[in-house]
Structure 1
Amino acid sequence: MLEKLIPAKADPILGLGKLFAADARENKIDLGVGVYKDADGKTPIMTAVKKAEVRLHAEQTSKSYKALAGDEVFRDEMRKLVLGDAVAADRVATLQAPGGTGALHQLFEAMKLLNPDATIWVSNPSWPSHVAMAKHLGFKTENYDYFDPATSGVDFNGLMVSLQGMQAGDMLVLHGCCHNPTGANLTANQWQSITDLVLEKNVMPLVDIAYQGFGDGLQEDAIYMRTMASRMPEMMVAASCSKNFGLYRDRVGCAMVIAKDADSATVTQGNLATLNRMNYSFAPDHGAALVAIILSDSELRAEWEAELEEMRLAMLTVREDLAEALRQQCNSDHFDFIKDHRGMFSRLGLSPEQVEMLRVDHGMYVVGDSRINVPGLSGGRVAPFAKAVSMVANISK
């Protein structure tokens, strides 16, 4: 039967990583995979995480199963971190999941229970997993306009026109702060307009938030989504701890479903637990236990928040330095949008041919659509990268 299988398509980002590893040039720079990097080019373990691991090792007495829905302290702390007091606690059903991707998968599964005929609306561009996962689960998908290459900002008029096609019972996938791969974020007024449309169309919004704390601040990054949540009778959220806790390989995520009232949330909670049972039973606990320890301890939380803020400010510095270096190299303000974007990513607006020249001629590894992982430029890497970009973009003094 295995002869029926066809070769799987290679992941372009992971493929880029293999090319980078095989490149013998000492001055090569990897800007592909979206992981935070410090000035030494390493992805560090946060100090609060290390301290929490010491405490967990000393205090944990069993590796027995937790509840199907996951650790209650972790789930409650994540609800408070993401939603704050925007929604009453008894209206929110929560689920521990293996990473933000696992949370997204379980919420798509929940949507199948609600409306298997729904169309899932996903931004263009988005992350490949959004559409691939939705289609794998049998959903129809539609793209909506998001990014304007001419301005390197959000094409909000195009977005709103695209979303007029939504039907009652559909699902709209929205990016939380810093999550769109372009680096361009929605404004407060734009979130408000989208919320108005979602309510009018009777559509289920799903906000995928994986970078809280990487944009304008831990609370600031969630405020627009919280405003939407406060107005919605029903809503879903997929949250990740990979980036803001640095727990990439430990796969820590939390799915949240906001219900219209406490009774509906209780029924939803039971169904979410059942979905876990049918997929992987119990989510991995180690990373989630660390998050629970950090968020529920005032000293560790303060230390974590301070380190997260350092990471955020470091990325902003790289953005400002890169925009200025490109301005000097190109004698143009063409790339000034970089300092206005937020989070780990920006799309430079280079052609695939120019991206290939960056890699082949200069050892600069960038995803084909010209998305760069901004923290990969820390530690003195801005200047050589800016020079290479100016050369391939044919913008010179």
Structure 2
Amino acid sequence: MFENVKAIPGDALLALMMEFKQDPTPTKIDLGVGVYKDDAGLTPILPVVKKAESLILENEQSKGYIGPAGAPELAPLLQGLMLGENHPLITEKRIATTQTPGGTGALRVAGDLVNALNPEAKIWVSDPTWSNHFHVFAGAGVEVRTYPYYDAQQNALAFDNMLDAIRQMPAGDVILLHASCHNPTGIDPTLEQWKQISEVVSERGLLPLIDCAYQGFGDGLEEDVQGLKLILEKCPEALITTSCSKNFGLYNERIGALSIVAAQAEHCSNVFSQACNCIRANYSNPPAHGAAIVTTILADTTLRQQWETELAEMRTRIHRMRTELVKNLDALSSERDFSFITAQKGMFSYSGLSKSEVKYLKEKYAIYAVDSGRINIAGINDSNLERLSQAISEAISR
């Protein structure tokens, strides 16, 4: 069976990450891998997570299975975080949430669910989008297509083209929307644009699949889900994938969730059972530790307040790095306007750097970024900011 199997190329981003790790240059800078880093260049464990883990260690009674849907106490806490307490969807039992292995696991369960309920449905993703969206949905047997999103000339949202494309999508198809901090561009719709998107999605009879991976990293916990709420006001059915990797710093704990929204409680319960069936056939049970951490933090008033403070500190540092980078680049060169970077949200930025400029940064300065020019703003800190700014200015002038 294995004799004639051909190797396939690995993920380009993972390959870039390995290349960075193997680079001996002491001043190297990683702007590629999509994880938060503090000013020391480390991906930290939040102090509040350490506190929660101490409580878990002290009180944990079992390592038994937690069931396909995961920890039952987690679901209402994540729903409240997204929608606020006493939201109609919650009180009317029109939303049900299952724990998953990270946001990626949630996306895969969503793909399996779409394939099980409507094998003819396609999933439409933004151009560009997180590259793994294609692999995940293809693995679930769902056809993936793209709609316009990024205007490279203006470094902005291609909003009119996006709306025109949505108006052409067949009823019953699925449209994936990023709730906030769009990956990879960092460009989000305004609230007015979200209203128009929600109206067109509803009119076309599309099923919104909202990828909520960065809540709290843009403008704030409540602000980052305003677009999501507008979609849910207009669309009676939706799928929402949640990741706790970024806002809790729990990357390797693989903790996420899939939420199902339906027009009636009975419909919601029925679809939820189908999702659990997909889980049972895939990984059977999700891991418990990450869910225990998130549950412990969100259920405790003091820990939750500490978490919100630590999340705000991460968000503020990213905002400051955006501002400082633009300020430095403006002072070094007037050849290109980078002010759009300060308007983008979250960790990522479509910087406008060309493939050749990205290559120059890596070969000359050991600065690693994705070929598309997408950079991770969280990889910038006070110690490398000046060198990075000088290198970008030099790459542009060449």
Segments of 4+ in structure 1 off by > 4 A?
Answer: none
Residue number among 174, 180, 183 corresponding to 1:171 in the alignment: 174
Residue number among 253, 257, 260 corresponding to 2:256 in the alignment: 253
Calculate the aligned-residue CA RMSD, in Å.
1.3
Q: CA deviation at 1:140?
A: 2.0
Q: CA deviation at 1:22?
A: 2.0
* Separation in structure 1 between the aligned mates of residue 212 and residue 252 of structure 2, nearest angstrom: 18
Q: CA deviation at 1:330?
A: 1.1
* Separation in structure 1 between the aligned mates of residue 19 and residue 239 of structure 2, nearest angstrom: 38
Q: CA deviation at 1:257?
A: 0.6
Question: Does 2:373 correspond to 1:354?
Answer: no
Q: Provide the residue aligned with 1:19 in structure 2.
A: 19
Confirm or deny: 8 A CA contact 1:121 1:144 kept in the other structure: yes
Identity %: 39
| More divergent stretch after superposition (341-350 vs 245-254) | 341-350
Question: Secondary structure of 2:126's partner?
Answer: strand
Confirm or deny: 8 A CA contact 1:105 1:133 kept in the other structure: yes
Which amino acid is the alignment partner of residue 309 of structure 1?
Answer: A
Q: CA deviation at 1:136?
A: 2.4
Confirm or deny: 8 A CA contact 2:67 2:284 kept in the other structure: no
* Separation in structure 2 between the aligned mates of residue 133 and residue 35 of structure 1, nearest angstrom: 20
Confirm or deny: 8 A CA contact 2:125 2:175 kept in the other structure: yes
* Separation in structure 2 between the aligned mates of residue 141 and residue 287 of structure 1, nearest angstrom: 30
Q: Provide the residue aligned with 1:275 in structure 2.
A: 278
* Separation in structure 1 between the aligned mates of residue 223 and residue 329 of structure 2, nearest angstrom: 29
Q: Provide the residue aligned with 1:88 in structure 2.
A: 89
Confirm or deny: 8 A CA contact 1:86 1:226 kept in the other structure: no
CA deviations on 1:140-185 (whole Å, 9 max, x unpaired) are: 2211000111111111011112222211110000111103211111
Residue number among 179, 187, 194 corresponding to 1:184 in the alignment: 187
CA deviations on 1:13-60 (whole Å, 9 max, x unpaired) are: 111122212222211101110111111100110111110000000111
Confirm or deny: 8 A CA contact 1:172 1:203 kept in the other structure: yes
Structure 1 unaligned residues grouped into runs of 5+ = none
* Separation in structure 2 between the aligned mates of residue 137 and residue 2 of structure 1, nearest angstrom: 23
Question: Secondary structure of 1:37's partner?
Answer: coil
Which amino acid is the alignment partner of residue 57 of structure 1?
Answer: L
Question: Does 2:265 correspond to 1:238?
Answer: no
Q: Provide the residue aligned with 1:206 in structure 2.
A: 209
Question: Secondary structure of 2:253's partner?
Answer: coil
Structure 1 segment 54-73 matched on structure 2, within 5 A: 54-73=54-73
Which amino acid is the alignment partner of residue 276 of structure 1?
Answer: I
* Structure-1-length-normalised TM-score: 0.97
Q: Provide the residue aligned with 2:393 in structure 1.
A: 390
Which amino acid is the alignment partner of residue 63 of structure 1?
Answer: K
CA deviations on 1:331-379 (whole Å, 9 max, x unpaired) are: 3561111111110000111221111100001111111111111011013
* Separation in structure 2 between the aligned mates of residue 185 and residue 270 of structure 1, nearest angstrom: 33
Which amino acid is the alignment partner of residue 110 of structure 1?
Answer: L
* Separation in structure 2 between the aligned mates of residue 3 and residue 257 of structure 1, nearest angstrom: 43
Q: Provide the residue aligned with 2:10 in structure 1.
A: 10
* Separation in structure 1 between the aligned mates of residue 229 and residue 117 of structure 2, nearest angstrom: 23
Question: Secondary structure of 2:65's partner?
Answer: coil
Structure 1 segment 134-153 matched on structure 2, within 5 A: 134-153=137-156
Question: Secondary structure of 1:308's partner?
Answer: helix
Q: CA deviation at 1:4?
A: 4.4
* Structure-2-length-normalised TM-score: 0.97
Residue number among 351, 364, 373 corresponding to 1:370 in the alignment: 373
Structure 2 unaligned residues grouped into runs of 5+ = none
Count of aligned residue pairs for this structure pair: 395
Q: CA deviation at 1:305?
A: 0.2
Question: Secondary structure of 2:397's partner?
Answer: coil
| More divergent stretch after superposition (320-329 vs 258-267) | 258-267
Question: Secondary structure of 2:125's partner?
Answer: strand
Question: Secondary structure of 1:237's partner?
Answer: strand
